[in-house]
A and B are shown apart, each in its own frame.
Chain A
Amino acid sequence: MNEAVVWMIIGMGIVTYIPRILPLLMLSTENWPSWLRRMLARVPYAVLGALIFPGIIFAYDAVWYGLLGGAAAFFIAYTGAPLIAVVAGTILLLTGINLIM
């Protein structure tokens, strides 16, 4: 065990933890203007979009492979399946295609 590495890990932990809790502890949005609160409420959808694109396109060497997985996830989710079923179903489908090809 290297002591310097342990200190580095603790430092990484602190600088990660602070942005995660600071708004939770310090922010009081009750008196914020409604447009700002509306924007905050829309953050999740914009974040989800950013987490999907462009990552899914470059996830595999072949662009179509990631896109196919994305399309599969979309259709499974559209049937109202639970999260875990969407994830498992998409993985199984891609594994199957991988084995055939």
Chain B
Amino acid sequence: METAAYMEKDDSLRRGLTAGLSIAFGYMPVAITFGLLAGSTGLTVFEAVLMSMVVFAGAAQYMALSMLAIGAGMVEIVLATFIVNFRHLLMSASIQERAEPSSKKFRALFGFFLTDEVFAVSSVKQPPISGSYILGVGLSAYSSWVGFTAAGFYTGALLPGVLQESMGIALYALFIALLVPSIKEEGRPVVVLALLGGGFHWLYQLFLDTGWAIMTATVTAVILYELFDVKRRKKR
């Protein structure tokens, strides 16, 4: 019995690693560019790689570079990081609602890897979602992020320019690829939720920071959807 449970766990880790390959692919140009910019901002390769290893958050790391470049204080940068990454609170809560029960230690481990992309890939799975699966997705994404930060630091032009440019679409292609199976399966609700999320993000990003715009757009979308849904069901 115990062996069977163990093997199942083992398999979901492997499936997670495979699913994470698409993120690894998508992170490649973003991490290479980060490494390159970190070098030109004056960070050492040790500092650049350390940041990717410890923080593991694309938007915040880019923001830290631009703040360092204009001579912002370190406390300011840490505070801004907190504000930009606060949105993961919502994603962590959504995972917690749908994840398979596991020990606190294990949740503290896979929680470290919850970037937007790791959350997106993990959360479109049918619940209960295995923690090992999330860990697998996270490890694939993490290896790429850290590895290509170092690669980008030394050789910014690692990829031919044409390919590097068209790779900018990678993460968007990934997000769309994640939505499509759910659209095929559940139809209207998924389309409406995604359109609401995207529409409000469009609106909010005009006057809010990226992190907050995504979070408030998501909250607005799910609240509005719930209100419409309740109203619609009452009519019947």
Contacts and interface: CB of A to CB of B under 8 A. Distances in A.
A38 B47 contact: no
Interface of A is mostly: helix
B154 interface: no
B198 A50 contact: yes
Interface residues of B, number: 96
Contact of A9 (B47, B116, B181, B221): B47
Given A12-B77, A35-B226, A78-B180, A84 B169 contact: no
A48 B112 CA distance: 20
A77 B180 CA distance: 6
A5 B94 contact: no
Interface residues of A, number: 69
A27 to B, nearest CB: 5
Given A40-B93, A41-B97, A46-B197, A51 B166 contact: no
A19 B86 contact: yes
Interface of A: 1-2, 4-13, 15-17, 19-25, 27, 29, 35, 37-56, 59-60, 66, 69-70, 72-74, 76-78, 80-81, 83-84, 86-88, 90-91, 94-95, 98-99
Interface of B: 19, 21-22, 25-26, 43-44, 46-47, 50-51, 54-57, 60, 64, 74-75, 77-79, 81-82, 85-99, 104, 107-108, 111-112, 114, 116, 119-121, 123-124, 127, 162-163, 165-182, 184, 189-190, 193-202, 205, 213-214, 217-218, 221-223, 225-226, 230
The 7 closest A-B pairs by CB, nearest first: A53-B198, A49-B197, A49-B194, A46-B197, A21-B111, A13-B54, A77-B180
